[in-house]
Amino acid sequence: MLLDTNWTLKWLTLCAQAMAGHRMELIELDRAIGDSDHGENMDRGFQAVLEKLAEAPPETPGAALKLAAMTLMSKVGGAAGPLYGTAFLRAATALGDATEIDSAAWAAALAAGRDGIVARGKAETGDKTMVDAWTPAVDAARAAVDAGAPDVLTILVAAAEAAEAGAAATDPLVARKGRASYLGERSAGHRDPGAASSALIFRAAVGAAA
């Protein structure tokens, strides 16, 4: 199969459902090492994305991701708004006007999204941020493409599993970027909320293709 506009719309819808369903869990994670607003902001942001998509349904995957990007940037606030907004915008730009996306194009779009997050947030792997979910996901998608995985679903699953493992791997880390970094050593022992919400987004991509 190839990824198309319907898949993209379904993905964003499942993202919104995931953020609503995990709202309190993300708030709790953020309460431990941040300021308790991540679940609330992501839920509000993705609900706004759904409203925008309903107003003017986009015609290509890239257009849908661009609309999501602009909405997240203007509705989420905090660090997550600009970071997710930049990720979706860079991915949208990488996809261009294509109406159907193959494995290689999707892996490249994910890499572009991750590069956008790194450029904006200046975080590196191991800083206990969303980058720790995105980079393993990008690497896993790339590796699956290089290994000749023909099915795009395989790529999506590989990315989701890597993102989830990456998010879990932030538990023992000491934060070096974002608000959790003020806690120093006390940030260890908690999952990074941004990595957790990123893993939800990658998992929703699988659900949209199922």
Partner 1 sequence: MKKLINDPRSVVGESVAGFGLAHADLVSVNADPAFITRKDAPVAGKVGLLSGGGSGHEPLHAGFVGRGMLDAAVPGAVFTSPTPDQILPATMAVDSGAGVVHIVKNYTGDVLNFETAGELAEAEGIRVRTVLVNDDVAVEDSLYTAGRRGVAGTLLVEKIAGAAAERGDDLDTVAGIGERVNLNVRTMGVALSACTVPHAGTPSFDLAGDEIEIGIGIHGEPGRHRIAMENADGITDRLLEPVLSDLKIEAGEQVLLFVNGMGGTPLSELYIVYRRAAQVLVDHGAVVARSLVGNYVTALEMQGCSISVLRLNDELTALWDAPVHTAALRWGA
Q: Closest distance between partner 1 and the C-beta of residue 3, in Å?
A: 28
Closest CA to 153 of 102, 110, 194, 198: 102
Q: Closest distance between partner 1 and the C-beta of residue 101, in Å?
A: 27
Q: Closest distance between partner 1 and the C-beta of residue 123, in Å?
A: 9
Neighbours of 97 (CB within 10 A): 9
Q: Closest distance between partner 1 and the C-beta of residue 103, in Å?
A: 32
Closer Cβ to partner 1, 47 or 154, answer by number? 47
Closer Cβ to partner 1, 10 or 44, answer by number? 44
The answer to whether the beta carbons of residues 81 and 121 sit under 8 Å apart is no
- Phi and psi at 131, nearest 5°, equal -60, -30
Q: Closest distance between partner 1 and the C-beta of residue 35, in Å?
A: 4
Closer Cβ to partner 1, 56 or 147, answer by number? 56
Q: Closest distance between partner 1 and the C-beta of residue 17, in Å?
A: 19
Neighbours of 137 (CB within 10 A): 30
Closer Cβ to partner 1, 10 or 179, answer by number? 179
Own/partner pairs, 51-56, CB within 8 angstroms, 24+ separation: 53/9, 53/12
Closer Cβ to partner 1, 39 or 61, answer by number? 39
Closer Cβ to partner 1, 55 or 97, answer by number? 55
DSSP state letters, 66-116: HHHHHHHHHHT-TTHHHHHHHHHHHHHHHHTT-SSB-HHHHHHHHHHHHHH
Binding site for partner 1 (CB under 8 A): 27, 31, 34-37, 40-41, 44, 73-83, 120-121, 175-179, 181-184, 186
DSSP state letters, 145-164: HHTT---HHHHHHHHHHHHH
Neighbours of 48 (CB within 10 A): 17
